[in-house]
Amino acid sequence: MVNKIKKQAGDKTGPVTHMTKCYIMGERNKKIIILKVAEKLFANNGYEGTSIRDIAREGSFNTALISYYFGSKEKLLASIFVYRLERQDQLFTAYWDKKDPLERLSSINAFYVDEFFEKRSFFVLMNQVQAFPGKYVTVKEICNELQSKINQVFSEAVEAGQQQGILREEINVPLMVAVIFGSISKIVFFRCLIFNNPDTSIKYEADIKDAVNTTLRAVVAGLILP
């Protein structure tokens, strides 16, 4: 699905060759700048409340450049999700190679804590998209594909742990994933209220991340057979 969407969303770089590598890197950097500006505005103002002109004005580039790379605002939205989720595929490959099921569970939890903290605008946008039934169908297909992969990673880790006699049998993986991800997102988006502290400094955020990771390790530990 992601490769299909990349083609539909205006992936104009084509196959990589030695002669075109530098050119393609430059083109990709331009596209990434546009994607990040659009992501921020979509998250802050809503998809419907943001125009191509708004994005061009914010990023100080021409509207024609956006049309050249993405074709339309809808394809631009899809491209944001493709760009952000490309890293997920690399992640899944890496964690499928981890043999220890507890290490796999803890590692993917830690990865997503970092992702939520570092890419707030993207996850705000994802929540907005999923809140409207019948709209943003293409993007929702990408999100559903991601959710299936996440569930698969957790399921394989849990099954491996159960086969080794480490983890409990009565584990509902989709519910476990929903609880973990829901907890991370709530802490990230409402941390000032939850911890009654308006501090958003890098040090304070690092302390919160450590606390969240410690709590999630305790959640994983709770899955272990006594």
**Domain ranges, residue 215:** 2-221
Q: What is the CATH number of the domain that holds 54?
A: 1.10.357.10
Report the pLDDT value the prediction gives residue 42, as an integer from 0 to 100.
95
pLDDT confidence band for 78 (50 / 70 / 90) = very high
Residue-averaged pLDDT of the chain:
82
pLDDT confidence band for 74 (50 / 70 / 90) = very high
Distance CA 140, CA 126 (A): 9
Report the pLDDT value the prediction gives residue 175, as an integer from 0 to 100.
92
Token pair 């999700």 is found at 81
Which tokens hold the place of 99?
């043999």
Calculate ∠ Cα 30-35-202, nearest 5°: 105
Q: How many structural domains are present in the chain?
A: 1
Report the pLDDT value the prediction gives residue 200, as an integer from 0 to 100.
62
Residue 64 lies in a domain: yes
Residue 172 has pLDDT above 90, yes or no: yes
Lowest mean pLDDT across 13-22, 71-80, 131-140, 171-180: 13-22
Residue 226 lies in a domain: no
Residue 10 has pLDDT above 60, yes or no: no
Residue 50 lies in a domain: yes
Residue 198 has pLDDT above 90, yes or no: no
Instruction: Burial-class residue 8 by CB neighbours within 10 Å (0-12, 13-18, 19+).
Output: middle
Residue 82 lies in a domain: yes
Q: What is the pTM of this model?
A: 0.78
pLDDT confidence band for 27 (50 / 70 / 90) = confident
The pLDDT of 193-211, averaged and rounded, is 72
Report the pLDDT value the prediction gives residue 66, as an integer from 0 to 100.
94
Residue 108 has pLDDT above 50, yes or no: yes
Q: Tell me which amino acid residue 59 is.
A: G
Residue 95 has pLDDT above 70, yes or no: no
Tell me which H or E stretch contains 15: none
Report the pLDDT value the prediction gives residue 21, as an integer from 0 to 100.
46
Report the pLDDT value the prediction gives residue 226, as an integer from 0 to 100.
81
Indicate the SS3 state at residue 224: strand
Residue 56 lies in a domain: yes
pLDDT confidence band for 22 (50 / 70 / 90) = very low
Residue 37 lies in a domain: yes
User: For residue 191, how many other CB atoms are within 10 A of its CB?
Assistant: 19
First and final C-alpha spacing in the chain: 42
pLDDT confidence band for 105 (50 / 70 / 90) = confident
CA dihedral 17, 22, 26, 28 (to 10 degrees): 30
Tell me the torsion sign for CA atoms 145, 13, 93, 185.
Answer: negative
Task: Answer for the pair 153, 104: CB distance below 8 angstroms, yes or no.
Answer: yes
Token pair 């899944």 is found at 92
Helix spans in the chain (H)? 2-8, 21-45, 52-59, 63-70, 73-96, 101-118, 120-130, 137-163, 173-189, 191-194, 202-221
